[in-house]
Chains A and B, each alone.
Chain A
Amino acid sequence: MSVVFYLIAGLTVAGALAAVLLKNTVHCALALTVAFAGLALMFLELDAQFAGFAQILIYIGAVAILVVFAILLTRGSETPRDGVFGRKPFIGLVTAAGIFAVLGWAVLHSGWALPDAGGAQTAAPTVTVMQIGNALMDRYVLPLEIVALLLTAALIGAVIVAMHEKAGGAMNPHLSPLTGYLLVAALLFAIGLAGALTRRNAILVLIGIELMLNAANLNLIAFWRYGPHPEALTGMMFAIFSIAVAAAEAAVGLGLVISIHRHTKTTDLDAMNRMKG
């Protein structure tokens, strides 16, 4: 693993942690953009230029802006007096930690079965935008149409892939590049999950969900880069579709939050208990 990877990974994880932990909601959103930028750098490091730029364009240019807009429209920038976490943050934290433990264990123990077990650097695949365009219009034209369904498939698929291999054999003493990326993704997923389960502000729950989504994207691109057939573009295509859909998803989600805010004058999830018997 190179120094660059550790730097970017540290930046991304720090951004994600800050996005979940900070008190001020706008600071959370700004920290989230740091995490997004770190992820974009990771995509570039994985030779997925197009996906990296799409990440910046859509996540920083659109999703982050949507989030800050939603925060300002719901007056969410005022820090609530009675704490920012929900009533039982402990359960959420334990769940997230448990999931991270399982994911991390799966990644580390399946290291030998992954395509890049030897730790040898495969030659960087050269993918031009032309190839991506042709693939989108040719082989992936149906997915392009039903991209919304693919989002769910990508998220679940990435988690299943990460946990797929059965454990066995000795652990790899040094991290192979793929393992590193998978670990970062697992960590991001756990941080996002912890945020989604513990924060009270609905927008911050959405931020947590975005982080989980991004973790799935990172897995897809990492598997594409170190998988046996990088020329098939499958993983990268999944990630691009997922980025595209995520923008729509964020817009709908934040729209829902704002419309709920119109009715209830709050974004506090603990206060939204009208359906409670």
Chain B
Amino acid sequence: MIEKADQIFVLLAHWLVSFLPAELQHAAMVLLGVVGIIATFPAIFALTVLLERKGLGRMQNRYGPNRVGPYGLFQPIADGLKSLTKEDIVPFSADAVVHLLAPVLLVVVVFMGYAVLPIGRNMTLVNMDAGLLFFFAIGASTELSVFMAGWSSRNKYSLLGAMRAVAQMISYEVPMLMSSVAVVMMTGSLSLNKIVEAQNQYTFGLPHWYVFTPWGFAGFILFAIAATAETNRSPFDLPEGESELVAGYFTEYSGFKFALFFLGEYVGMMGVSGLGATLFLGGYSAPLQALDFVPSWIWFFAKIMLAMCVFIWIRGTLPRLRQDQLMNFAWKFVLPLTLLNLVVAGMWRFMGDGWMRWVVCSAILLAAYVLMARVGMRKERFGPRSYRYAE
């Protein structure tokens, strides 16, 4: 029974496919997986948007949407209908083709990332040997769509937003990749399935998640910071800072195209959260051995939703950074720490079992963090700003 619940989607897909002739079955399985992903994540997206609006509202001492349906639960449907029926405006001087292609590219690329994520036991669409590399390669293409959106709008706010976004995404892609490399070093594989399997073991009923090791904890924090910046979320939401840039690179988007951008952004956030959960939080494995009877895919979605809640919480809490602070933070704080984390992960690997490695690795990471934070705080960063490249 437990086994059945765990594999319910896999069994369902096999049962559906069994009606087809043998040569079509493989293709049909892939197609079913794609349809499943394309149906599920937008649904979660709708839920998350509601959660965000309600949650942010509560954090700001107001109710949030509460008019449509009981407790405002049908608000996402109303929003969807509204964006579908709105007029689609393309600015007169805009580059219409690129303007149209940008949101489409974003959505396509963002969904492709899910192809390699292990959503549950035996629930990876493509079990690729270089899955992690695929995810990052695909993720790198989102920068291009952001640039296309900003440039094709022929609007200086859009262009500025796009330039900021691209610079930010390139800067934070490096620490994101580097912090994942530590996991790859430990597992010895780029396959996300193998990474989850390596963490899906228990001693004394406690899991072997990488986040429960010194290097894994540091790596997870750095990954989370980089992922927040990578998805242009607050406090790194300068590319769409309302108070300075209207809405950044999608200022000139309306109606359904805007909805596509919105969808792409949230689905991208969920994808990155899924990757973080897979790398550091044991993917679809249960947090306690005693809870192993709960189906694996529930854990995966629970971890994603938890990450989304943290995203919302951070958005409601932290103020926006300034552009120079953002860049300094990436290159002078996050990147050195990820590099150090790689070294520490290597030490952890070769120091053998025992308490020694816990003490040494934690001490190195803590000392480095304290030192760098102190040095960073001491410098006077509040002088007049200089614009070197804006001529």
Q: Do A and B come from one complex?
A: yes
Q: Contact residues of A with B, CB < 8 Å?
A: 26-27, 30, 33, 49-50, 53-54, 56-57, 60-62, 64-65, 68-69, 72-73, 77, 128-130
User: How far does the Cβ of A252 sit from chain B's closest Cβ, in whole Å?
Assistant: 16
Q: Which of chain A's residues have a CB closer than 8 A to the CB of B139? A: 61
- B20 lies within 8 A of chain A by Cβ: no
Indicate if the CB atoms of B144 and A33 lie closer than 8 Å: yes
Q: Say whether B130 contacts A129, CB under 8 Å.
A: yes
| A26 neighbours in B (Cβ, 8 Å) | 151
Question: B137, A53: Cβ atoms under 8 Å?
Answer: yes
Residue of A33, A65, A128, A130 near B170 (CB, 8 A) is A65
Q: Is the C-beta of B189 less than 8 angstroms from some C-beta in chain A?
A: yes
Closest B residue to A33 by CB, please name it.
B144
Tell me how far the C-beta of A207 lies from the nearest C-beta in chain B, rounded to whole angstroms.
Answer: 15
Given contacts A53-B133, A72-B159, could you give 9 more A-B pairs where the C-beta distance is less than 8 Å? A27-B98, A30-B148, A49-B130, A53-B134, A56-B137, A57-B136, A57-B140, A65-B147, A69-B163
B190 at the interface (CB under 8 A from A): yes
| Closest B residue, CB atoms, query A69 | B166
Please tell me if the beta carbons of A49 and B128 are within 8 angstroms of each other in the complex: yes
Assess the A50–B130 pair: CB atoms within 8 A.
yes
Q: What residues of A have a CB within 8 angstroms of the CB of B137 in the complex?
A: 53-54, 56-57, 60-61
Nearest-Cβ distance from residue A15 to partner chain B, whole angstroms: 13
Interface SS, B side: helix
Q: How far is the CA of A131 from the CA of B191 in the complex (A)?
A: 14
Determine the chain A residues whose CB is within 8 A of the CB of B144 once the complex forms: 30, 33, 60, 64-65
Residue on A nearest B152 in the bound complex, by CB: A26
On chain A, the residues within 8 Å of B173 by CB distance are 61
**Shortest Cβ distance from A55 into B: residue:** B137
Per a CB cutoff under 8 Å, which of B134, B141, B188, B190 touches A61?
B141
Residue in B133, B137, B141, B148 with the greatest tally of chain A CB atoms within 10 Å: B137
Question: Judging by beta carbons under 8 Å apart, are B130 and A60 in contact?
Answer: no
Interface check B143, CB cutoff 8 A = yes
Ordered by A's residue number, 25 sampled pairs between the chains whose C-beta atoms are within 8 Å are A26-B151, A30-B144, A30-B148, A33-B144, A49-B130, A53-B134, A54-B137, A57-B133, A57-B136, A57-B140, A60-B141, A60-B144, A61-B143, A61-B170, A64-B144, A65-B143, A65-B144, A65-B147, A65-B170, A68-B151, A72-B159, A129-B129, A129-B189, A129-B191, A130-B189
Q: Which of B134, B143, B148, B188 contacts A130 (CB 8 A)?
A: B188
CB < 8 Å neighbour of B140 from A27, A56, A77: A56
When distances are taken between beta carbons in the complex, the residues of chain A under 8 Å from B17 are none
For the complex of A and B, 10 pairs with smallest distance between CB atoms = A61-B140, A56-B137, A57-B137, A53-B137, A53-B133, A129-B190, A129-B130, A128-B129, A57-B140, A49-B130
CB of B326 within 8 Å of the partner chain = no
Interface size on B, residues (CB 8 A): 27
Most chain B beta-carbon contacts within 10 A, residue among A53, A64, A68: A53
User: Known: A26-B151, A53-B137, A57-B140. Is A65-B129 also a contact (CB below 8 A)?
Assistant: no
Task: Confirm or deny: B123 has a beta carbon within 8 angstroms of a beta carbon on chain A.
Answer: no
Across the interface, which residues of B come within 8 angstroms of A60, CB to CB?
137, 140-141, 144
Which B residues touch A69, using CB under 8 A?
163, 166
Among B130, B163, B170, B191, contact of A62 (Cβ-Cβ < 8 Å): B170
Bound: A153/B98 CA distance, A? 38
Q: Give chain B residues whose Cβ lies under 8 Å from the Cβ of A49.
A: 128-130
Q: Which residues of A contact B128 (CB under 8 A)?
A: 49
Nearest Cβ in chain B — how far from A135, in angstroms?
15
Residues of the A chain whose Cβ atoms lie less than 8 Å from the Cβ of B28: none
Return the CB mask of B158-187 against A: 1 if under 8 Å, else 0.
Answer: 010001001000100100000000000000
* Cβ-neighbour of B133 out of A27, A54, A128 (below 8 A): A54
| Nearest CB of B to A78, in Å | 12
Whether a CB of chain A sits under 8 angstroms from the CB of B368 is: no
Cα A73 to Cα B189 with chains together (Å): 40
Assuming the contacts A60-B141, A62-B170, asked whether A53 and B98 have C-beta atoms less than 8 A apart, the reply is no
- In the bound complex, how far is the Cα of B143 from the Cα of A56, in angstroms? 12
Residue of B nearest to A49 (CB): B130
Cα(A57)–Cα(B128), bound, Å: 16
Residues of chain A within 8 A (CB-CB) of B188 are 130
Q: Give the residues in chain A near B190, CB-CB below 8 Å.
A: 129
Q: Is B138 part of the binding interface, using a Cβ–Cβ cutoff of 8 Å?
A: yes
Known A30-B98, A65-B170, A72-B163; contact A50-B133, beta-carbon cutoff 8 A: yes
Q: Which residues of B contact A128 (CB under 8 A)?
A: 129
